[in-house]
A and B are shown apart, each in its own frame.
Chain A
Amino acid sequence: MKYLCLVYPGEDFVPRPEDAPDFAAVHRAMTEAGVYLDSGALQPSSATTTVTLRDGDTLLTDGPFAEIKEQVGGYFLLDCADLDEAVRWAATIPTIRSGGASIEIRPLVEFGGRG
C-alpha cells in the first residue's frame, strides 16, 4: 500500500544544514528497503497560490485555501506492506525530533489493475 507521510514540523522548526546527513541516511535506508517512492520539502505557505474555477474562468488567490496554524513542511511517499511498516519508517524522519512536530500518515486509494 502507498502511504503519504505529511510532515508538520511544528512552529519553532528551523531547517539546519547539519541535519542534512540525517536526511540522507533516512533516504538511503528507505531506498534500500524498497519502500521509498518520493519525498519533498515545501516552500513556506506564503508562497502559495490558490486556483478556483468560477463561471469557466480561473480565479487566483494569493495564499493558502485555508489559513491554519500547522503547515505541512514536506512529505514522504512510501510503499509499505501495511500501516505498521509505514509507522516504523515515518518515525525515522529526522524532523519528528523537533518540538511540536508530527507526521500524518495518509493511505492512498489503490486503483484496480495493479494488484
Chain B
Amino acid sequence: MATVSRLVGDVEVAEDAVQEACAAAVAQWPTAGVPANPGAWLVGTARHKALDRLRRESRRPDREAAAMRERGDPGAPSPPGTIEDDQLSLIFTCCHPALDPGVRVPLTLRSVCGLTTSEIAAVFLVPEPTMAQRLVRAKRKIRQAGIPLRVPPPDTWPERLAGVLRVIYLVFTEGHRPTTGASAVRSELCDEAVRLARVLAELLPDEPEVVGLVALLLLTDARRPARLDDDGELVLLADQDRSRWDHGKIAEGAALVERSLRRRRPGPYQLQAAIAACHSTAPTAEETDWREIAVLYGELIRYEPTPVVEANRAVAVAMAEGPAPGLVILDTLGADAQLSRWPQLHVARADLLARLGRLPDAVDAYRQALSLEPPSAERAFITRRIRQLTS
C-alpha cells in the first residue's frame, strides 16, 4: 500500500488499487498458480490499476499531475526506496500536522496498518459511514493541499517526529486501555503499535526517543497476559501473577531503554520506558524500586508538566516514603476543579486513605470515582474494592 502510494502519488487511489489487486490475486492464483514474488506481483498489479484509473480520470487536473509524475520527470527522478521507506513516508503523511489531530490515528490505522473502515469505526465507537466520511475528507485534504508523501528532512524531525510517536503511542493505548467499548484490551491494536514502532526504530536507529517508545510499548505490553483475570476484570499491578508476564519482551525492552539512555539525550518516552522497566523487572511487587520511580517521574515532569504525571509521582512517593506524603501531593492536585473530574485521581487517593486506615474516607473516594463514570473494567474493580472495604 505504501509502495503503491509512492509510485502513483495518491493515497486514495492507491488504497482502492491495492484492494482490487488483492481481489485479482484471490481470483487468479488458485488456477494460474502463485507468482514467484507475490509481493512484487501485488505492487505491480495495483500500480497498473491505479494508473488506469488516473488516466481515466485525467480530466481531473490534480490526478493528471499525479499521472505525469508516473510518466517520469527527468528533472527529479524518484529514489528507488524500499517497502519500509515507503511505509515510513506514509506514516509521516498520515501524522502530518496540517491534518486534524483527531483523524491522524484513524488514518494511520487505515492507510498504514490496513484496518478496515468498519474495524476503525468500532474502535472509536462511531457509525461506519461517519468514519468513512472522516477518512475520505482527510485523504482529500492530503491531495488538495499537496501534503507530501515523503520522510521530512531531518532538521524538521524535532517537531514532526513527536507527532508520529504520539500517534503510535495512541494506537497502543487505545488497545491497552480502550476508551470505548466493553472489552478491556484490544490485542490487535497493541500488536500494530509495537510493529509500527519497530519499523520506525529500524529506519531511525539514531533517535533515542524512537527506541524509547519501542521499549515503553514492549515493557507495558509484556504485562498484557496478567492484566485481566478469568472474568475479564482488571488486576492491579501489585496483584498480577508475574510468571504470566512475557519475560522475552521485558528483557528486550529493558535492554533497549538502557542503551538509549546511555546516549544522554533523554526524553519523555525513554523516561516512561525506564519507569515501566522498574515495574516489569521487579521480581515481586514488594521489591519494586519506588524511590527510583519517584525520581524518574520528577524528571518526566520537566517534559510533560501535567497533573497526570504529578499524580503518578505522588503514588511513587507514597510507596517509597509512606502514604501520608503521597496524599499531600494528591490533595493539592484534587483542589483543581477540572482535575477533580478525573476518576483515576480518586482511585489513587482511596488507595492511600485505605493504607492509612481511614476506611470511610477511602470508600467515599472510591464512590466519587464511580460517580465520574470510569471505563467498565475499572468500574468493576472499584466496585469490588468498595465491597472489600465495607465487609
Q: Which residues of A are interface residues toward B (Cβ below 8 A)?
A: 1, 3, 80-84, 86-87, 105, 107, 109-112, 115
Inter-chain contacts of B96 with A (CB < 8 A): 83
Q: Which residues of B are interface residues toward A (Cβ below 8 A)?
A: 58-59, 61-62, 64-65, 68, 96, 98, 144-148, 152, 156
Contact of A84 among B59, B62, B64, B152 (CB under 8 A): B152
Instruction: Assess the A83–B61 pair: CB atoms within 8 A.
Output: no
Contact of B59 among A80, A87, A105, A112 (CB under 8 A): A112
Inter-chain contacts of A80 with B (CB < 8 A): 146
Known contacts A82-B147, A111-B61; 9 further A-B pairs (Cβ under 8 A): A80-B146, A81-B148, A83-B147, A83-B148, A84-B148, A107-B144, A107-B145, A107-B146, A110-B65
Complex: A112 Cα to B59 Cα, angstroms: 7
Of the listed residues B146, B148, B156, the one surrounded by the most CB atoms of chain A closer than 10 A to its CB is B146
Inter-chain contacts of B147 with A (CB < 8 A): 82-84
Residue in chain A with minimal CB distance to B160: A84
Instruction: Assess the B146–A109 pair: CB atoms within 8 A.
Output: no
What are 13 A-B interface contacts by the 8 Å CB criterion?
A1-B146, A80-B146, A82-B146, A83-B96, A83-B145, A83-B146, A84-B152, A86-B146, A105-B145, A107-B144, A109-B61, A110-B65, A115-B64
Complex: A109 Cα to B59 Cα, angstroms: 13
Inter-chain contacts of A107 with B (CB < 8 A): 144-146
CB distance from A40 to the nearest CB of B (A): 23
Instruction: Assess the B98–A110 pair: CB atoms within 8 A.
Output: no
CB distance from A68 to the nearest CB of B (A): 23
CB distance from A37 to the nearest CB of B (A): 15
If A83-B98, A84-B152 touch, whether A112 touches B58 (CB-CB below 8 Å) is yes
CB distance from B150 to the nearest CB of A (A): 8
Contact of B68 among A83, A84, A109, A115 (CB under 8 A): A115
Complex: A111 Cα to B64 Cα, angstroms: 9
The 5 closest A-B pairs by CB, nearest first: A82-B148, A112-B61, A1-B146, A82-B146, A83-B146
Inter-chain contacts of B145 with A (CB < 8 A): 83, 105, 107
Inter-chain contacts of B156 with A (CB < 8 A): 84
Residue in chain B with minimal CB distance to A81: B148
Inter-chain contacts of A111 with B (CB < 8 A): 61
CB distance from A84 to the nearest CB of B (A): 6
Residue in chain B with minimal CB distance to A106: B145
CB distance from B367 to the nearest CB of A (A): 46
CB distance from B22 to the nearest CB of A (A): 30
CB distance from A111 to the nearest CB of B (A): 5
Inter-chain contacts of A105 with B (CB < 8 A): 145
Contact of A112 among B64, B98, B146 (CB under 8 A): B64
Complex: A1 Cα to B344 Cα, angstroms: 49
Complex: A110 Cα to B64 Cα, angstroms: 9
Residue in chain B with minimal CB distance to A115: B68
Residue in chain A with minimal CB distance to B71: A115
Complex: A105 Cα to B144 Cα, angstroms: 12
